[in-house]
A and B are shown apart, each in its own frame.
Chain A
Amino acid sequence: DIQMTQSPSSLSASVRDRVTITCRASQDISNSLAWYQQKPGKVPKLLIYAASTLQSGVPSRFSGSGSGTDFTLTISSLQPEDVATYYCQKYNSAPRAFGQGTKVEIK
């Protein structure tokens, strides 16, 4: 099975900082990658699918890139409401594995 590895596992950044989270697949998954945001006590929210397509209603400071095995989620200007854990998920085939998550905090 394909494994998904996120880095870092956690990060602390200042408001308005540019934040980058990486997700690596153990095999080529083309662009079949999604990113989710989960705020404390809430259910996950879809941010990006097809590696770089922004879900409707998601702020434009979020962006995704990559294909094949290496993917990136970028928050161009971190806001206090972006405190959350972020997960990648591959969905080209079953099992649709998630990464282990990246916890983002404000410094």
Chain B
Amino acid sequence: EVQLVESGGGVVRPGGSLRLSCAASGFTFGDFGMSWVRQAPGKGLEWVSGITWNGGYTSYADSVKGRFTISRDDAKNSLYLQMSSLRAEDTAFYHCARDGRGGGSYYSDSWGQGTLVTVSS
């Protein structure tokens, strides 16, 4: 069974930094691309960032480009999101998600429960 467990969320002041982690199990982590998707409370889904199976290509939403960095450690079956220069509008649940199988399958077929990031003074 695919399991994705996020951690690292919390309350941070505007301008601060936070690092999210996602522990993956139940599948061969190194075979899949991964993504981060966020959802502000009561709002819709917003794709944040993605990374290919080999880490060779990363992509970002315009809203986080230059502030967030996605990375992965296949030896630890883990995905990360380093967030800096945080703003109030970054407040959301952050979900780790697995991409579909095969080239070009950049949809998300499994999701974690999410970790809440609150940016507030």
Question: A residues touching B (Cβ–Cβ < 8 Å)?
Answer: 1, 32, 34, 36, 38, 43-46, 49, 55, 85, 87, 89, 91-92, 94-101
Contact = CB atoms under 8 A, between A and B. Distances in A.
Interface residues of B, number: 24
Interface centre among A32, A38, A92, A94 (most CB of B within 10 A): A94
Considering the complex of A and B, which 8 residue pairs feature the smallest CB-CB distances, nearest first? Answer: A94-B59, A34-B107, A91-B106, A43-B111, A96-B47, A98-B45, A101-B44, A95-B61
B62 A95 contact: yes
A46 B50 contact: no
Interface of B is mostly: strand
A85 B42 CA distance: 11
Contacts of B113: 43
Given A1-B62, A49-B105, A55-B109, A94 B114 contact: no
Nearest to A48: B107
B61 to A, nearest CB: 5
B69 interface: no
Contacts of B109: 46, 49, 55
Interface of B: 35, 37, 44-47, 50, 59-62, 95, 100, 104-114
Contacts of B35: 96
Contact of B106 (A1, A44, A96, A98): A96
B5 to A, nearest CB: 12
Given A96-B50, A98-B47, A101-B45, A46 B107 contact: yes
Contact of A98 (B46, B100, B104): B46
Contacts of A99: 44
Nearest to A49: B107
